[in-house]
Every structure is written in C-alpha cells, then in structure tokens.
Amino acid sequence: MAAEESTGGQTEYIQHHLQHLQWHVGDSKFMTINVDSVFFLLLMCALFVGFFLYVSRRATSGVPGKLQCALEMVVTGIDGLVRETFHGQSKFIAPLAVTIFCLVFLMNFMDMVPVDLLPGAWHTVGPALGFKDYLRVVPTADLNTTLGMALGVFFLIHYFGIKHKGLGLFVKEAFTAPFHADKLWMAILLAPANLLLRLIEELVRPVSLSLRLFGNMYAGELIFILIAVMTLGSSLDALSTYAMMPVQFISGFIWTAFHVLVITLQAFIFMMLTVVYLSMAAEKH
C-alpha cells in the first residue's frame, strides 16, 4: 500500500509539472494557447533586447567593461562564423544569427531554474487569481515554440532563395537538382524525382530543427523533475528521505553542469543550421 502511494505521488508530481497553463480560444478546444510558453518567450525577448540596449548605450571605445567585453566576444565570434558559412552578400544574416543564438540560449537557460521555484510561487498566486495550478517555464520544451521558430526559418529560406536567384531560377532548380541532364527529354524524365526529393528536403528541415531542440530540452526538464522526486516528502519515510538527499544533490549538480553544455550547444546548433540553410538557399547550383 505504501509503495502504491509512493508511486502514485511521484506520478502525479511528474504529470503536474508537465502540464501547461493553457487558454482555450472559444468554447471548443480546437485552438489552445500555452500561456506559460508565450509568456516566458516574450519575457526572454524583452530581457534580450533590454540587455543589448543597456550594454550598447554604455559602450566605450576605450577599455571595455566586463559586460561589453562578453557581448563583443559573442557578437564577433558569431559574425566570424557567419562570414565563413554564408557566401552571399547580406547584412541581415549576422544580426539574425546573434538573435537566434541569444534568444534560444535564454529560453533554454530557464531549465536551470530550480524545478519547483516558479511553479511553487504560481501555486500560491495562480489559483488566487482564478487560473489553474500549472506552469512550465522552459519555452523550448514546448513543441509549439520550437516548431514555430523552425517554420519561421523555413519561410525565410524560401524568401532568401527567391531574392538571390529570382523566382524563375528558384522554381527551375526544384525540377533540375540534384539529378542533372544535358538532354531535354532526360531532364523532363527526371523532373518528378527531383521535385519529390526537393519536397522531402524542404519538409525535413523544419521538422529536424524543431524536434532536435524540443527533444533535448524536454528530456533535460524531465530529468530535473525525476531528480526532484528522489526526496518527495509524501512518498518516502523520513529515514529514506535523509538518505536520498546526498544522492539527489550529487545527481542534480552533475546534471546541471552537463546541462549547461547542452543548452549552449542546442542554441549553437539551431543558429548554425539556420545560417547553413540560408547559405544553401542563396547559392546557385
């Protein structure tokens, strides 16, 4: 009986932490907005813009301060990567890459906040204001967020392709690459296969971009929750709770140190793949 209560308490705890604070548009549930993901996304956007404005307005041409130095290292590093990767001419790519990296990193970094800190605060405030007692603080652990960003990159790829090649060449490449043919009848014969491969390639890009980021951040969030249930007070006796505390602390410390690399790497991968896709779209085959 005690084991069943322990398992039930842990399961309820995990399920509660994986529920979004949602708003249903209209009477039906056909359109549902994850309010917590939208709120923390906008909060990270405001933090990103505010931080850059704060540093830029206090920037000096002499010896830079610590914040200015750190920001310049990030901007110049990303600018160098863009110059090596994107071979076209565009003043838009480097600022876009900086924005993507910083914004995705900030959203990922919300996973470093103690798992019960903000949901616990919302447990006191939310129901008192008439909202449900659910709150998830990592926007990139929500597939809607990552898929939305990936679709934005998807449309941007096609915009760059048409802008740099023209509509005619852009459409022509869809029927003539990757299989090329010198004779007209062979080109017509290969056109359906080229178009099919092009459609698969274009559809895979937003799917892979969104699922890669979502999968890593969802798994990271879930591991933090599983570490938290090690000492769930309602499911363990006092002796077991105190015995598990060192294990929980060591596990949390190790995973936190490793997860810092994960959230940084995932932001870097999302940024670099965006730049690579835009570079491929701008190149003429």
Write out pLDDT tens, residues 189-205.
Answer: 888 898 899 999 999 99
| Count of structural domains, the chain | 1
The confidence score (pLDDT) of residue 1 equals 38
How far apart CA 79 and CA 100 sit, in angstroms, is 13
Q: Is 169 helix (H, G, I), strand (E, B) or coil?
A: helix
The confidence score (pLDDT) of residue 164 equals 86
Q: Tens of pLDDT along 225-264? A: 999 888 765 445 556 667 778 888 898 899 999 999 999 9
Q: What is the mean pLDDT of residues 26-51?
A: 89
Token pair for residue 26?
């209209």
Q: Tens of pLDDT along 163-186? A: 888 888 888 888 887 887 777 778
| Torsion angle of the four alpha carbons 191, 197, 202, 204, in this order, in degrees rounded to the nearest 10 | 170
Q: Is 26 helix (H, G, I), strand (E, B) or coil?
A: coil
Instruction: List, by residue number, the catalytic residues.
Output: 208, 212, 216
How far apart CA 94 and CA 76 sit, in angstroms, is 9
Give 216's contacts (C-beta < 8 A, 6+ positions apart).
262, 266
Please check the confidence at residue 6 and state whether its pLDDT lies above 70: no
Tell me the percentage of the chain whose pLDDT exceeds 70. Answer: 92
- pLDDT band at 46, cuts 50/70/90? very high
How far apart CA 93 and CA 97 sit, in angstroms, is 6
What is the residue range of 161's domain? 2-282
- pLDDT band at 58, cuts 50/70/90? confident
The confidence score (pLDDT) of residue 234 equals 46
